Structure 1
C-alpha cells in the first residue's frame, strides 16, 4: 500500500510543478496583458485542479491553501474584489507557499509544515476586508525576489544524471581519444593486409568515439528558456518595489547551453536585470511623458554564434548618459580624456570596481560593485561582455558565452617546443606576419589588415620563452572586445575539439591562461584566455588611426606592457 501511495505522490509532484508554473505565468499576465477575465478563469481552473489533486492524495495543507486562493480568485471573477497589484502579489505569494509545501512533501515532511497557514489567513482576510488588508504584499514579494532568487531556480539542476558524473564521462572520453591516437600511430607502421584491416577497424572506432562524445555533450545541454522565464517573477516584483512597471520577454528560449554555464552565469544575470530596472526603466509617468508604454520591456535574446551562445539583454529605458559617465570617470581619475573615447570604450569603464553614477545606494543597486561582479563572472567562464546604449532609447548588453565548459573547439599553435590552444570562437583569421611588423625579438608591433593598423603581440616574447623566432611567423587574428588584435606564433598546427582540464593551484592565477588540455599526440598544451591576455598588454596602447593599405606598418619593439 505504501508503495502505491509513493507512486501516486510521485505522479502528483510532477503535475503540481507544472500547474504552479502555469498559475504563476497567468498571474504575471494579469498586470500586463489583455483579456483579464479569461486569464482569471485559467488561474481558477488550474487552482481548482491543484486543490482537487492534493485532496485526493491526502495533502490537506496544500488543499486548504488552494481552497483559500480559489475564494479570492472567484471574488475577482465576480467583481466583488478589485484586481490590484497587492491582490496579485498575494496570489503570487500563494504560489510560493504552495511550492514550499511541495518541496517539503518531496523531502518526506508531509505533516510537519505550518508555513502556509499565514498565507491562508491573509487570503481569507483579503476576501473579507478587500485591498486594505493587503498592505505590504508588494514589499514582501520584492524582498523574496531579491534575497531568495536561487530557491526558485533549483529545477534547472534537476537533471537525471549528476553533472559531476557527466564531467567524469567527458574526462574518460578524452583519455579514450588519447589511447586511440597512440594505437593509430602504431598501426601506421604496420604493413600489408593486416595493417589495412586494422586501420579500417580503427576508423569505425573513431566514429563511435565521436558519437559517444556528442551524446555526453548533448546530455549536459539544457534550453535557456526555462532559466530565463524563471526571472519573469523577479522582474515584476523588483519593478513594483521601485514604483515601476516592467515585463520580461524571452526570445529563442529553445537555444541550449551547458548546465555548468547556466549555474556559473546565474548571479551575473540577476545583477544585470536588477540594474536594468533600477537604472534603466523609468517610472510610468516619465515613460508616458516620453511617449512610451508605461510598462517597460526587458528582452532576453539568445542565439548560437561563433561556436558559442550570444546573449543580448536589452531594455527600452532611459539609456546611459555619456555626460554622467564621463564626469564620473574624470572624478575617479580613470581616464584623462573620457569625452574623446568612443561609446564602447567609455561604456566599458562602468565595469571597473567601485564605478557607479547612482546618487544614493540601496539594497537593490548603487553600491558600485554589481557590474564589476558581472564582468568577473563572465570572464571566469571564458565569456565576453560589451555595452550598447542610446540615451532615451535603452541599453543592450551583448554577452558571448561558450556552449560548454567541458570541451572547446580550439586552434593549436606552436611556439618553439611549446604548444598552446586558442579558443576557436575568438579566432577570426590566420595569415603570415608581414615583414617589418615586429622588431626582431620584440613583443609588440603593428601590421596592416584591410587598410587599418592592427596591434599584434609576439607570444614568444610575452611568455619569455627565449630563443629566436623563425624567419617566417604566423599571425592569428582574434576578436578582442569590439576590436581586433593579432597573436604572433611560430606555427599553426590545426583545429579540433579538446577536453578542458582544470589548472592546478600553481597556474590558477597566471594571467592569460584559462586551462590546459592534452593534445592528440599526448603532449600537454595550455589554453589561452584571449581577452585576459590582451587586456593587460594593450590597455595602455595609444589608439591608432586607419592607415593606407599601401603604407608599410611601422615596427615597434620593446618589453611587454
Structure 2
C-alpha cells in the first residue's frame, strides 16, 4: 500500500464510519413510517457517497456493496419495490457487511473475506423482485454485539473531535496565558528568594502553556493531499456530464492546514473546478484542432508561502477572453472604460454578483452565482483570490489562505495608545519612515525602497484616529494586490503568536478589521485585514508609470505572480 493511498485511507476511514452510522440511523427511522420518501432519499445520497469514496481509494468490494444497495434504494424511492420490514432488515445487514469490510481495512487485511458477496447477491435478487427472506429471519433491525465488535473498539487509535471543542480549548489556553501574565506582573514586586522561586515556577508553567497551545494547534491541522485528491472523482464526473475529458493533477508536498479552513473552502473549490470544466476545458474535438491533448489537465498546487497556504488552481483550457469580459462589463455598466483596465483588474470583475459571459445557463454553470460565492467564502476566512489568464492557453487562480483560523503569527504595532496586529504572512519588511515621505499631517505618500517607488499610507489617518504622529515613525511593508505598499505606524511592538477572538456584531462589517485578540498585558487589539484595508485607497498615490509597469508585468506573467 503506497503512501498516497495511506493518506487517502486516513481521511476516508473516519468519514466512512460517519456515513454508515447515518445510513443505519435513517434505516431505523424508516420503520417508524414518518417521511419515508425523504428518508430514502437521504439514505440514497449517503450510499452514493459511500460507493464513490470507496472506489476512489480502491476498495472494490465496499464499492460493489454500495452499488448493489444503491440500486435497491433507487427502486424503493421510485416505488418499483415495496418498503417492507424484510427489505429494511436486508439493508441493515448491508451496513453490517460494510462495517466488517472497513474493520478489515483498519486491521490491514484489505477485503480478504467474501461474506459481503452473499449480501450483494441477496440485494441483486431483491432488486429483481425475487423472493424475499422469511419474516422470521429478518425480524430484528438491531444486531447483537459480537467479539469482533469488542476487538474493534479496543483497537481504536483515534477519535474525531469537533472544531468547536478545539476552539474552546484554544480560548481556554488564551485565558491561561492572560492569567499567567497578571501573576507575573504581581511577582515582579515580590523580593527575596521567595519571589525568585515563584518566578522560576511561573516560567515553567509558561513553557507548559506554550506546549499545550502548540498541541491544540497541531490537532487542528490536516494534510491537504487527501482532501485535494478527493476532487479527482469530482473532476471526472463533471467532465463526463459536460462532454469533456479532464484529469486532475495534485501537487501538495507535506502541506497541512487548519481543518476549519478545509471545511469552509470545500464548496468554493468545487465551484472553481466546475468553472474550469464548463468554461475552460474545451471539447475533445476543439482541443485536437488546436493541437492539444483531447484530455484537459487541471492542476491543484498547494505550498507554504508567507506564513500561510498558497493554493493554485490552473487549467490548460481556452483561457479567458478580454473582449467578451469587457463587453459584458460595458453591458452591465460595471466600469466606464473596461479596455483600460489591467488583466487583473478586468478579470476581478467576474467576482461581481450576477456576472457571467455564458450564453445560456444549465445545471452546471452559467447563472453568474458561482464566482461571487467563491470570493465571499474565501474572504470569510481571511483569504484572497487572484485570476490570471491567457486566451487559448488556460486560466490560473491563486488563493492565499491562512494556516489556521484560530491562531496566527502577527506583528503588533502601536498608534498612539492603540495597538493593532498585522498578520505576519502579509508582512514583507519593516523600516524607519524616510523623512519627507509623508507630510506631518498627511495621509499618503511615496517612499523609495530598493530603487522603486512604493505607495505608503499613514495607518493613523486610514483608521480615523486622532492625535499627531511622533517625530520618528516606522513603516511596515506589506504585500498587497500583487505588489507592495507601506503602512506607517508609530512604533513596532514585535511579533508573536496571536489567538484570534471573534468580533462582536458591531465590528463584523467594519472594513479592514478581521478579528481581535488579547495582548499579554490584557489589552484588546484589533487584527487588520490588509487587503480590505488598502483596497481602493492606494490608486491616488501610485504613479502612472508604476501602474504601467505593473500592467506590463502582469500581462507578461499571465496575471498571477508565481
- TM over 0.5, shorter chain: yes
Structure-2 residue corresponding to 1:163: 163
Q: Which deviates more, 336-345 or 251-260?
A: 336-345
Distance 1:324 1:67, change over 3 A: closer
Distance 1:255 1:261, change over 3 A: same
Instruction: Tell me how far 1:483 sits from its aligned partner.
Output: 1.5
- 1:414 and 2:410 are equivalent in the alignment: no
- 2-structure distance, mates of 1:161, 1:445: 50
Structure-2 residue corresponding to 1:265: 265
Distance 1:433 1:299, change over 3 A: same
Instruction: Tell me how far 1:436 sits from its aligned partner.
Output: 1.9
Question: What's the CA shift string for 1:198-237, capped at 9, x where partnerless?
Answer: 3322222222111100100111111222322222222112
Distance 1:215 1:328, change over 3 A: same
Distance 1:538 1:118, change over 3 A: farther
Instruction: Tell me how far 1:64 sits from its aligned partner.
Output: 5.9
- 2-structure distance, mates of 1:239, 1:120: 30
Distance 1:118 1:397, change over 3 A: farther
- TM-score, length of structure 2 as denominator length: 0.71
**Conserved in 1, the CA contact under 8 Å of 2:244 and 2:282?**
yes
Distance 1:12 1:229, change over 3 A: closer
Q: Which deviates more, 188-197 or 235-244?
A: 188-197
Distance 1:122 1:316, change over 3 A: farther
Matched ranges for 1:408-487 at <5 A: 408-487=408-487
Distance 1:546 1:249, change over 3 A: closer
Structure-2 residue corresponding to 1:304: 304
Structure-1 residue corresponding to 2:322: 322
- 1-structure distance, mates of 2:223, 2:126: 37
Question: What's the CA shift string for 1:537-557, capped at 9, x where partnerless?
Answer: 23566653249xxxxxxxxxx
Structure-1 residue corresponding to 2:499: 499
**Conserved in 1, the CA contact under 8 Å of 2:446 and 2:541?**
no
4+ residue segments displaced more than 4 Å: 10-17, 19-29, 62-68, 98-106, 116-125, 539-543
**Conserved in 1, the CA contact under 8 Å of 2:55 and 2:63?**
no
- 2-structure distance, mates of 1:406, 1:222: 14
- 2-structure distance, mates of 1:286, 1:124: 43
- 1:222 and 2:210 are equivalent in the alignment: no
Gaps spanning 5+ residues in structure 1: where? Answer: 1-9, 30-41, 55-61, 69-97, 107-115, 126-157, 548-561
Question: What's the CA shift string for 1:265-302, capped at 9, x where partnerless?
Answer: 11111110111011101001111112222111111111
Structure-2 residue corresponding to 1:389: 389
Distance 1:217 1:103, change over 3 A: farther
- TM-score, length of structure 1 as denominator length: 0.71
Instruction: Tell me how far 1:190 sits from its aligned partner.
Output: 3.0
Instruction: Tell me how far 1:104 sits from its aligned partner.
Output: 12
Instruction: Tell me how far 1:444 sits from its aligned partner.
Output: 2.0
**Conserved in 1, the CA contact under 8 Å of 2:19 and 2:50?**
no
- 2-structure distance, mates of 1:299, 1:520: 43
Structure-1 residue corresponding to 2:517: 517
**Conserved in 2, the CA contact under 8 Å of 1:228 and 1:253?**
no
Distance 1:222 1:26, change over 3 A: closer
**Conserved in 1, the CA contact under 8 Å of 2:48 and 2:70?**
no
Gaps spanning 5+ residues in structure 2: where? Answer: 1-12, 21-46, 73-90, 100-119, 130-157, 548-562
Instruction: Tell me how far 1:167 sits from its aligned partner.
Output: 0.6
Question: What's the CA shift string for 1:108-158, capped at 9, x where partnerless?
Answer: xxxxxxxx9999589979xxxxxxxxxxxxxxxxxxxxxxxxxxxxxxxx9
Structure-2 residue corresponding to 1:5: none
- 1-structure distance, mates of 2:533, 2:160: 38
Distance 1:202 1:535, change over 3 A: same
Instruction: Tell me how far 1:263 sits from its aligned partner.
Output: 1.4
Instruction: Tell me how far 1:338 sits from its aligned partner.
Output: 3.1
Instruction: Tell me how far 1:189 sits from its aligned partner.
Output: 2.9
- 2-structure distance, mates of 1:403, 1:99: 41
Structure-2 residue corresponding to 1:335: 335
**Conserved in 2, the CA contact under 8 Å of 1:473 and 1:491?**
yes
Q: Which deviates more, 169-178 or 428-437?
A: 428-437
Question: What's the CA shift string for 1:417-444, capped at 9, x where partnerless?
Answer: 1111111111111111122222222222
- 2-structure distance, mates of 1:99, 1:247: 36
- 2-structure distance, mates of 1:309, 1:100: 44
**Conserved in 2, the CA contact under 8 Å of 1:223 and 1:253?**
no
Structure-2 residue corresponding to 1:544: 544
Structure-1 residue corresponding to 2:188: 188
Matched ranges for 1:68-467 at <5 A: 102=95, 120=124, 160-252=160-252, 254-467=254-467
Report SS of the residue matched to 1:484: strand
Report SS of the residue matched to 1:545: helix
- 1-structure distance, mates of 2:503, 2:297: 41
**Conserved in 1, the CA contact under 8 Å of 2:51 and 2:67?**
no
Instruction: Tell me how far 1:530 sits from its aligned partner.
Output: 0.8
**Conserved in 1, the CA contact under 8 Å of 2:414 and 2:420?**
yes
